Amino acid sequence: MLSKSAAKAFFLGGTAITLAVFLSLTWDTFQQIPGRTNAAALTDQVKRGKHLGEDNNCMGCHTLFGEGAYYAPELTKVYERRGPVFIRSQLKDPEAMFPGQRKMTNYHFTDDEVEALVAFFEWAGKVDLNGFPAKPTLGAPAQVLVAAAPSAQRPQVFSQICVTCHALGGLGGTVGPALDGVGTRLDAAYLEKWLKDPGAVKPGTKMPKLPLDDAQLGELVTFLSSQKTLKEVAQ
């Protein structure tokens, strides 16, 4: 057994060591906060986007940083998952992106407000959350009788926007028709005309006019044109 003096020394020594470890870890944590929170990118525009999200109660339906509701999609990584083109379109007119389906309120944001929200979501997606939220585990694409030209590269805008409504290779949405073999059915000129303004080609269509720049439009036309049937690819 320890004597009273030895027990006292043990207690005081252990307390001092534990306190020193606690203070060291606290200091280290505060040193890492600016980098982990992407503090350098906290511009006035980002701050405005944050306040817009709070004022319009985005977390009443969405989850952000693990907090909020689960009625609508998670927003922490929405910039990485969907990209700025989709976010802008969704914020400007939610119904146009999902005709007859999307229940998100149209808040009639101005262009400046939309850009502030986009900036906020971009900032949020770069905060270091140690892998949270985890990326979804998706199954392998279904086997379908189509193939793309070997040189075709799937554009980022296709993965962020087009698959929301259209399927390719068995994966994607079901709002619009599947795009397997679309390059066989439609030529590049028609695809470009359609993507520029669907309503001008087919009045009343449910497909919205997407705010694509020339580079994104060209990438999509090239990619979709490469989606041929297996018979045509083999020739």
Higher pLDDT, 198 or 148: 198
pLDDT in tens, 79-102: 998 899 889 988 988 887 776 666
Lowest mean pLDDT among 64-73, 90-99, 159-168, 170-179: 90-99
Q: Hey, which CATH number is domain 39-125, 3.30.2020.10, 1.10.760.10, 1.10.150.120, 2.40.50.140?
A: 1.10.760.10
Burial of 162 (0-12, 13-18, 19+ CB in 10 A): buried
Instruction: Give me the pLDDT at residue 235, please.
Output: 44
Instruction: Give me the pLDDT at residue 233, please.
Output: 42
pTM: 0.69
Superfamily of domain 146-234: Cupredoxins -  blue copper proteins (2.60.40.420)
pLDDT in tens, 122-139: 999 999 988 888 876 654
